[in-house]
Amino acid sequence: MPAADRLVILDRDGVINQDSDEYVKSLEEWIPYPAAIEAIARLSRAGWTVAVATNQSGIARGYYDVEMLEAIHDRLRELVREAGGEIAHIAHCPHGPDDGCGCRKPLPGLLEEVREALSMEDLSGSWMVGDSLRDLQAGEPLGCKPVLVRTGKGRRTEEKGEGLDGAMVFDDLAAFVDWLLARGDSDEQSRPARKTAR
């Protein structure tokens, strides 16, 4: 069972790969950030557990199907393995915003799925990394520490400035991982209230 304080949960689009207002509908349209793949592998090699929690309403909208989503996620896992890392679990919400599900972020259902899949009692002290406010909000009820990255929709989210109290802000996933691995196992008091990486 992973320790909660050694778990990093990532949003997908805009954090691991380029986002698209037209949705990422195929393997050709799924363009990973090379630095993000390497960052995931570095976390894994350093003994951290990495999971992904991603809204995929394009399934409900009919833009692609679950099989295509799984092909993309297989490719993601393959790239991370090639870099020497591992993704412990990928949770996705296939529903649209009006479907009334419990898993679409900002609701915490996807993170509960991660917790159950990893046989963890709770997620308190885990890190939730995203490029939108709803990513960070999904982790709040479960005690996750919020991290905003400026890739994807992150800069727009930062400019709005809403709901980011206590969130740390980094240029990208690699910058966050640099900081996280450099701090080692230092205690919570060493954590700044908000870090801005340039």
Residue with tokens 């196992």: 185
Catalytic residue status for 13: yes
Catalytic residue selected from 11, 19, 131, 135: 11
Catalytic residue status for 11: yes
Beta bridge pairs of residue 148: 130, 169
Catalytic residue selected from 5, 13, 21, 187: 13
Q: What is the DSSP string of 97-144?
A: TTS--S-STTSSHHHHHHHHHTT-S--TT-EEEESSHHHHHHHGGGTP
Report how far residue 100's alpha carbon sits from residue 79's, in angstroms, rounded to the nearest whole number. Answer: 34
Report how far residue 137's alpha carbon sits from residue 128's, in angstroms, rounded to the nearest whole number. Answer: 9
Secondary structure of residue 178 in the 3-state scheme: helix
Angle between helices 34-45 and 173-183 (to 10 degrees): 20
Report how far residue 20's alpha carbon sits from residue 13's, in angstroms, rounded to the nearest whole number. Answer: 8
Question: Catalytic residues, which ones?
Answer: 11, 13
